[in-house]
Amino acid sequence: MGTYNMDLCNCIEPPWPADELLMKYQYISDFFIALAYFSIPLELIYFVKKSAVFPYRWVLVQFGAFIVLCGATHLINLWTFTMHTRTVAVVMTTAKILTAVVSCATALMLVHIIPDLLSVKTRELFLKNKAAELDREMGLIRTQEETGRHVRMLTHEIRSTLDRHTILKTTLVELGRTLGLEECALWMPTRTGLELHLSYTLRHQNPVGFTVPIQLPVINQVFNTSRAVKISPNSPVARLRPAGKYMPGEVVAVRVPLLHLSNFQIHDWPELSTKRYALMVLMLPSDSARQWHVHELELVEVVADQVAVALSHAAILEESMRARDLLMEQNVALDLARREAETAVRARNDFLAVMNHEMRTPMHAIIALSSLLQETELTPEQRLMVETILKSSNILATLINDVLDLSRLEDGSLQLEIGTFSLHSLFREALNLIKPVASVKKLYVTLSLSPDLPEYAVGDEKRLMQVVLNVVGNAVKFTKEGGISISAFVAKAESLRDPRAPDFFPIPSDNHFYLRVEVKDTGSGVNPQDTPKLFMKFVQSQPLAAKNSSGSGLGLAICKRFVNLMEGQIRIESEGLGRGSTAIFIVKLGIPGRSTESELSFIHKGPGIQAKPNFSGLKVVVVDENSVGRMVTRGLLVHLGCDVLAVASGDECIRVVTHEHKVVFLDVTLPGTESFEVAVRIHEKFAKRPDRPIIVALTGNTDRTTKENCLRVGMAGVILKPVSLDKMRSVLSDLLEHGYLVESQ
Amino acid sequence: MDVVKQLQRQFIDFSTSLYREGFVDDQFAQLQKLQDESNPDFVVEVVSLFFDDSEKLVKNLAVALEQQVVDYKQVDANVHQLKGSSSSIGAKRVKDVCVAFRSFCEAENHEGCLRCLHQVSHENSLLKNKLQTLFRLEQQILAAGGTVPVLE
């Protein structure tokens, strides 16, 4: 459209003469082009204004300008078809120049712009792809999260109960709900382990007992892996619904390990090898064209594991509940038993308490009166009757006594009742009691008491009498002819140490003596081998004996217990059957008047084993003019562990005694009052102090005056010389414990 | 071993005879009990002391009784001492004589006292011999490597 002819016109001189038609068409085209050129930028501006996002405004303006100018050029061209003035030409020229400039600039700019625009496009595409991808991923995450949520919820549901059935039911229900299943079933192994039994289903409330053998390949396949396995809907385990016309949905099966208590070892994880599994079968709805997705399978696997754990917990709980119930039952039973036992013991004790007195009294009356009756004039029948009465009542009396005593002895509740009694009268009474029975059998009874036997003794008179009676009674019982001789004497030191009784360690002392009683009979004797058995409870060594050898077999056992309590010893010697026997027992009795009651420890102390009180370092003073006596007393105290200062005179004693000395042994054998003055002066020396030494008198004199004098001058006690070791020991204990002698001599 | 057993047997027999014949009584046994590791020769010491003492007393008594005018109080005092000593070691026979002696003293029976004195002296010597034998046996046992048996 450019022309070089600036003078006249802008149009190119056509090589041929201007055709009017052609000019007309040109004219119209130019017009429309101009129109278009003007309207396009307008449209652009309009739309750009409308949308605020377009980033290349500047380009648009340029473009707009370019188009406008082009349009302008073409418009102006309209006037150049005819003759036109110079102004028009100028305007035209200007327009053309501007257009040229702008279009070149635009062209140049487009070189930059178009790649940009293109890349925008690609970026847009890229972003769109990315967005799509993100969307997909978001979808995935959401599903996973949902799965997780479902699992948590399921687990929560499953674990919120400890009841087996609830667990399983809940599992199925929740799974069904979460996954939208058509059917969900659980097959449990039977007891034999050879079959699977349909235990729970989702839809059917009470599944009819389907069972399938456990060795099916499909089942093995499922059991061999911990993953959920897709199985055919036609397999026996999946055929749960009546075969319908519908296309069954996909079925998945997973194993549920049934953990046993025994599987849990302390150090290892549970062994999964010796396992029983249950089978869980899940069916998607038929005709839904749904497929099992991976995350759903994972969900199923997780749930299966959780179920296993929950079940095992439930099992453990069941176990422990059962054990606890059992224990409670046992407890109740034990308690009952204990109470019954207590009641029984109490009843027995009450019974014994009553029997003790009530039964014995009449018994003795019967026996005594019967024997008296025997002495009177009787017809033979009457005599026979009385004899029978006597025999029977004797037996009964013995039985009563034995049973009563033995039960108390066995309790350990028996304690000896110590008292002073007359030995002589004890034996005489025993003799009197046994005489009737013996005379019935025409046996003689002799009693010989040794002259050195003390008149009185300290001990349990009743029990000793029982022992004597028992032994003598026994002798009478087993003697058919001849008689019994009883002898009692004081056992001497050497006779105490009997080689036949090696466990017997009598400790002689001057407050006790050992009474030895021998009862010799001419009766049926005992086999020497049986002699130890005689003292065992309820053992009768003569099972084939005659009718009169009745008895509970308790008598000698009781005797042995009593004798042991009295720190003694009992045995029976016999040379054999038919040669008679001798019962020998030794008991420890106290000498009245010469011993303190507290020394007679009969209650369950071992013979001779006395606790050694600790006097070590105890500072004492011994005052004795007699050198021998002094040395002996000193030796005695040193042996007991004291720190002894021995002086020969009262004066020296006063000089050396200090507040550290706890006891002063003052020999007052001297006639006269010198020794007493010593005591007085010692008291004066320590008048002010609370810890003054205790003064004890040693004397060979037993008369009252000495004792009174000693006590008057404030001595703590009087000891008779010679002093034995035991005596000194107990004196020291007494002094230290009480500050005075409990019983002075 | 045999020797020891034999000696021990002898010792036991001898000891028992001493007791049986009344030479010694329980108190002597008590003395033997006081003998231990810290006091190994206690009995011997006491016995020696006794014999020293008793011999002295006997001499005093002899002197006292030889006087023209016998001071029975003095005699009594001595006898009392002797009685005390003998009872302290358990010399039974000696003590018994002393008891008799004292009654004679009280009665101021010269004859009786003299008799008792002789008896005392005699018993003393007897006892001394017996105890010396006993101690010798003890030594022999110990020398042979055994232990001295304890009598109950």
Q: Please give the Cα distance from A462 to B18 (Å, whole number).
A: 38
**What does the alpha-carbon distance between residue A484 and residue A473 come to, in Å, rounded to a whole number?**
10
Pairing verdict, β A195-201 and A211-213? antiparallel
Cβ atoms within 10 Å, residue A450 = 11
Specify the pTM. 0.36
Asked whether the beta carbons of A204 and A246 are under 8 A apart, the reply is no
> What pLDDT, on the 0 to 100 scale, is given for residue A597?
44
| Tens-digit pLDDT profile for residues A29-78 | 888 888 887 888 788 778 777 766 666 677 777 777 788 788 788 888 77
CB A183 within 8 A of CB A248: no
Specify the amino acid at residue A237.
V
Among A157-166, A520-529, A606-615, which range has the highest average pLDDT?
Answer: A520-529
C-alpha–C-alpha distance, residues A732 and A162, integer Å: 74
Is A198 assigned to a binding site? no
Nearest Cα residue to A674 out of A704, A649, A648, A646: A649
The pair of three-digit structure tokens given for residue A220, joined into one six-digit string: 């093995």
* Banded pLDDT at A545 (limits 50, 70, 90): very low
As given in the structure block, the two tokens for residue A281 are 């079968």
| pLDDT value of position A18 | 61
Beta-sheet pairing, A619-623 with A643-647:
parallel
Map residue A587 onto helix, strand or coil: strand
Q: Is B56 on the interface with A (CB under 8 A)?
A: no
So what's the pLDDT on residue A609?
40
Rounded to whole angstroms, the Cα distance separating A321 from A328 reads 10
- Phi and psi, residue A362, nearest 5°: -60, -35
| Residue A499: predicted pLDDT | 58
Task: Report CB contact under 8 Å: B53, A626.
Answer: yes
pLDDT at position A5 is 46
What pLDDT does A129 receive? 94
Q: Give the model's pLDDT for residue A376.
A: 86
Helices (H), A9-85: 20-50, 57-80
* A502 interfacial to chain B (CB closer than 8 Å): no
Residue A726 assigned as binding residue: no
Between A357 and B81, residue with greater pLDDT: B81
| CA–CA distances in Å: residue A92 to residues A7, A88, A103, A455, B143 | 12, 6, 16, 177, 166
**Checking DSSP bridges between strand A276-283 and strand A251-258, what pairing results, if any?**
antiparallel
**3-class secondary structure, A190:** coil
The tokens 């009294």 sit on which residue? Answer: A361
Is A682's pLDDT higher than 70? yes
Side-chain half-sphere exposure of A693, counting CA atoms within 13 A? 28
Q: What is the mean pLDDT of residues A316-340?
A: 91
Q: Is the pLDDT of residue A158 over 80?
A: no
The closest CB to that of A635, out of B46, B50, B85, belongs to B46
> What is the average per-residue pLDDT within B101-113?
87
Is residue A21 within 8 angstroms of chain B, CB to CB? no
At a CB cut-off of 8 Å and minimum separation 6, what does A197 contact?
A: A187, A188, A189, A190, A209, A210, A211
| Distance of alpha carbon A682 from the chain centroid | 65
**C-alpha to C-alpha distances, B43 to A23, A456, A688, B47, B87, nearest whole angstrom:** 176, 35, 41, 6, 14
Interface test with A, best of B48, B74, B88, B98 (most A CBs within 10 A): B88
pLDDT value at position A331? 94
Taking residue B152's Cβ as centre, other Cβ atoms within 10 Å add up to 12
A541 three-state secondary structure: coil
The average pLDDT across A395-415 equals 70
d(CA A259, CA A278): 11
Give A683: exposed, middle or buried? Use CB within 10 Å, 0-12, 13-18, 19+.
Answer: middle
Are A521 and A478 in contact by the 8 Å Cβ rule? The answer is: yes
Quick one: pLDDT at residue A414? 66
Distance CA A727, CA A698 (A): 12
Distance of CA A381 to the CA centre of its chain: 74
Pick from A224, A282, A284: which is nearest to A257 by CA?
Answer: A224
The amino acid occupying position B96 is D
Q: Note whether B22 contacts A: Cβ–Cβ < 8 A.
A: no
User: Is A636 within 8 Å of B42 when comparing Cβ atoms?
Assistant: no
Q: What's the average model confidence in pLDDT over A393-412? A: 72
Residue A86 parent element (H or E): helix A86-159
Q: Residue A672 — pLDDT band, cuts 50, 70, 90?
A: low
Q: In 3-state terms, what secondary structure has residue A422?
A: strand
User: B1: distance to nearest CA of chain A, Å?
Assistant: 21
Tokens for A217?
Answer: 């390949």
Q: Hey, which of A269-278, A576-585, B33-42 has the most confident mean pLDDT? A: A576-585
- The pLDDT tens digits for A595-648 are 444 444 333 333 444 455 567 788 889 988 888 888 888 888 888 888 889 988
Which residues of A fall within a CB distance of 8 Å from B88?
626, 628-629, 632-633, 721-722
Tokens 């059962």 identify what position?
Answer: A322
Q: For residue B10, what are the CA distances in angstroms to A494, B13, B24, B28, B148?
A: 15, 5, 17, 18, 11
Which residues make Cβ contacts (< 8 Å) with residue A422, sequence separation at least 6? A455, A456
